[in-house]
Structure 1
Amino acid sequence: MSCDTRLARLLHVLVHMDLRGGTTTSATLAQMLHTNEVVVRRTMAALRTAGMVTSTGGRNGGWSLVKALNTITARDVYEAISHGAVFTIGPAHDNAACPVERAANKLVVDAMHDGEKAMLEYLGTRLLSDFAAEIRAR
């Protein structure tokens, strides 16, 4: 089963943009992420919609940070991405009349809920500026 890597990639991109003075091109990002420019533009559109970046078309166009990294949390980036479930596990639907299945499903759903809540709380405490400072310190 494949993982959704967009959050890690977008965190990577935003910090790189900051380190590069706040602007870059789709071509540069595509090269950095080992993908093509169309994928970059489609993915970056979520950040543009969320007001974190802006884009300029044309020969000298590219992406620019609109918000400072000290105003963006990892949770903000996560929430900008349209995504499905955080976890790939889920409840079973083999026999809804079975009380054991219902109990097992409740355990799984409760664990998923608590895990997602903890993850979102953690991401909400991580400013991208702190992440960038850790990188600069290395």
Structure 2
Amino acid sequence: MRTDTRLPRILHVLLHLHETDVPITSERIGRMLGMNPSLVRRTMGGLREAGIVGSTKGHGGGWYLEKRLADITLSDVYDALGEPCLFAVGTSDDTPTCLLEQAANTATESALEIARASFLGALDETTVADLVEGSRKPTDESHRCKG
């Protein structure tokens, strides 16, 4: 099963945008993440619409932060990405009139809702600035990315 890695990837990009004084091109972000630049532009477009990032065209153009990291929650980024599906687990509709299937679906939906609420609550309580805390030691050079 394929997983959706856009949230951590875009958080990664936001952290790099924070570390630079110049806009970063879609091509450079694409190299860093191993993504096609057009996919970078589409993905970042949702963040631009949410007011998280801005962009400039032309020579010296690219993506830049519109907000301070402390003003961006992980929930803001998740919402800007279109709230990707959290779980592959779902309910069954093989025999919708069966009371046992209904009970199994109710239990599954309940557990999923608890997990979803916990996940969304954690995103809402965490800012992108919080990710900088403890992300590396002052002498750590391992944060270098290709691109």
TM-score between both structures, scaled by the size of structure 2: 0.88
Is 2:23–2:61's contact at 8 Å kept on the other side of the alignment? no
Q: For residues 27-66 of structure 1, what are the structure 2 equivalents within 5 Å?
A: 27-66=27-66
Distance in 2, matches of 1:98 and 1:37, equals 49
Q: Paired residue for 1:68? A: 68
Q: Paired residue for 1:3? A: 3
Q: Paired residue for 1:108? A: 108
SS at match of 2:135: helix
CA RMSD of aligned residues (A): 1.4
Superposed CA offset, 1:15-55 (max 9, x none):
11112236311111011001111011011001001000011
Q: Paired residue for 2:124? A: 124
Amino-acid identity (%): 39
Amino acid paired to 1:46: G
Structure 2 vs 1, CA of residues 109 and 22 (structure 1 numbering), >3 Å: closer, same or farther? farther
Gaps of 5+ in 1: none
Structure 2 vs 1, CA of residues 13 and 86 (structure 1 numbering), >3 Å: closer, same or farther? same
Structure 2 vs 1, CA of residues 103 and 22 (structure 1 numbering), >3 Å: closer, same or farther? farther
Gaps of 5+ in 2: 141-147
CA offset at residue 134 of structure 1? 2.2
SS at match of 1:54: strand
Q: Which has the higher helix share?
A: 1
Is 2:48–2:54's contact at 8 Å kept on the other side of the alignment? yes
Distance in 2, matches of 1:111 and 1:34, equals 35
Is 2:23–2:60's contact at 8 Å kept on the other side of the alignment? no
Structure 2 vs 1, CA of residues 84 and 73 (structure 1 numbering), >3 Å: closer, same or farther? closer
Distance in 1, matches of 2:83 and 2:112, equals 15
TM-score between both structures, scaled by the size of structure 1: 0.94
Amino acid paired to 1:129: A
